[in-house]
């Protein structure tokens, strides 16, 4: 994990350079990910929610809109959030959903507005220094007993991976961050399913907002 203290200019660079990487290859990213099977992750979020005809869901880091399309097809009220302008445009066009253009480290979310948050392959771009605050902001936007689903690469390293800043964590470390934000782990699993642990680079976690 990164030991140095990141200054405001460092955080600005992390956001700018990481978002630029996605911005420059937005179309290729859509083509490369639109058919990925993340049905296990969809189920993990939706099955953790209390029975209800439809949910208010935030797709945090919605990219070009694949998951928004899915949630909308089920009748849920899905709202996207993205930092890349190109992804925002694509997600709005492809899904017909509202998409907020917000930097992950400069969030402005309405309190207690979502039943669930789907953060698939997105939160790992938030530096560990800023993660407690970002998780608290996400938890604040959840309704009582709301669910946060996250899927991130696992590991014990943080820093630049090419032109993207990445923060890889194992379960114990990540669980401590979640607890500090008022979120309790319900269950977790590793992806892709059916592989030996060393061939499962993704950690998926379902966490519930605690009622203090």
Q: How many CB atoms lie within 10 A of CB 110?
A: 10
- The answer to whether position 145 is within a domain reads yes
Query: In degrees rounded to 5, what are phi and psi of residue 208?
Result: -110, 140
Mean pLDDT of 171-186: 98
Q: Sort strands 114-120 and 142-153 into parallel, antiparallel or unpaired.
A: parallel
> For residue 198, what are the contacts with CB-CB under 8 A and spacing of at least 6?
none
- The answer to whether position 96 is within a domain reads yes
Mean pLDDT of 143-153: 97
What proportion of the chain, given as a percentage, has pLDDT over 90?
97
Single pTM value for the model: 0.96
- The answer to whether position 107 is within a domain reads yes
Q: What tokens appear for 170 in the block?
A: 């194992």
Please tell me whether residue 203 adopts helix, strand or coil conformation.
strand
- The answer to whether position 35 is within a domain reads no
**Phi-psi label, residue 36: left if phi above 0, alpha if psi -120 to 50, beta otherwise:** beta
**What's the confidence (pLDDT) of residue 1?**
43
- The answer to whether position 203 is within a domain reads yes
Mean pLDDT of 74-92: 98
* C-alpha–C-alpha distance, residues 190 and 187, integer Å: 11
Q: What tokens appear for 135 in the block?
A: 């998780």
* C-alpha–C-alpha distance, residues 22 and 2, integer Å: 23
Provide the CATH number for the domain around residue 76: 3.40.50.150
Mean pLDDT of 41-70: 97
Structural domain of 132: 9-30+42-209
Mean pLDDT of 45-59: 96
* C-alpha–C-alpha distance, residues 39 and 41, integer Å: 5
Task: Quickly state the pLDDT bin for 210 (edges 50, 70, 90).
Answer: confident
- The answer to whether position 150 is within a domain reads yes
Total domain count for the chain?
Answer: 1
Cβ contact 120:62 at 8 Å: no
Residue 55: is its pLDDT beyond 90?
yes
- The answer to whether position 1 is within a domain reads no
Mean pLDDT of 22-42: 96
Helix (H) or strand (E) holding 135: helix 131-141
Nearest to 161 by CA among 8, 17, 4, 12: 17
What proportion of the chain, given as a percentage, has pLDDT over 70?
98
- The answer to whether position 70 is within a domain reads yes
Task: Quickly state the pLDDT bin for 4 (edges 50, 70, 90).
Answer: confident
Residue 3: is its pLDDT beyond 70?
no
Q: Which residue has the tokens 């009748």?
A: 75
**What's the confidence (pLDDT) of residue 93?**
98
Residue 2: is its pLDDT beyond 60?
no
């Amino acid at each position: 994990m990164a030991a140095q203290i990141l200054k405001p200019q460092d955080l600005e660079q992390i956001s700018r350079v990481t978002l630029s990487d996605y911005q420059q290859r937005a179309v290729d990213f859509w083509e490369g990910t639109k058919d990925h099977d993340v049905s296990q992750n969809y189920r993990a979020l939706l099955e953790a929610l209390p029975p209800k005809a439809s949910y208010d869901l935030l797709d945090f880091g919605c990219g070009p809109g694949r998951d928004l399309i899915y949630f909308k097809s089920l009748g849920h009220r899905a709202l996207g959030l993205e930092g890349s302008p190109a992804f925002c445009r694509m997600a709005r066009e492809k899904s017909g959903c509202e998409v907020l253009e917000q930097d992950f480290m400069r969030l402005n979310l309405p309190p207690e507005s979502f039943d669930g948050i789907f953060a698939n392959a997105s939160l790992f771009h938030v530096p560990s220094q800023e993660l407690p605050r970002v998780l608290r902001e996400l938890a604040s936007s959840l309704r009582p007993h709301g669910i946060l689903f996250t899927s991130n690469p696992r590991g014990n390293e943080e820093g630049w991976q090419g032109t993207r800043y990445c923060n890889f964590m194992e379960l114990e470390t990540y669980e401590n961050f979640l607890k500090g934000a008022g979120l309790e782990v319900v269950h977790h699993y590793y992806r892709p399913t059916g592989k030996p642990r060393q061939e499962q680079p993704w950690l998926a976690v379902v966490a519930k907002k605690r009622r203090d």
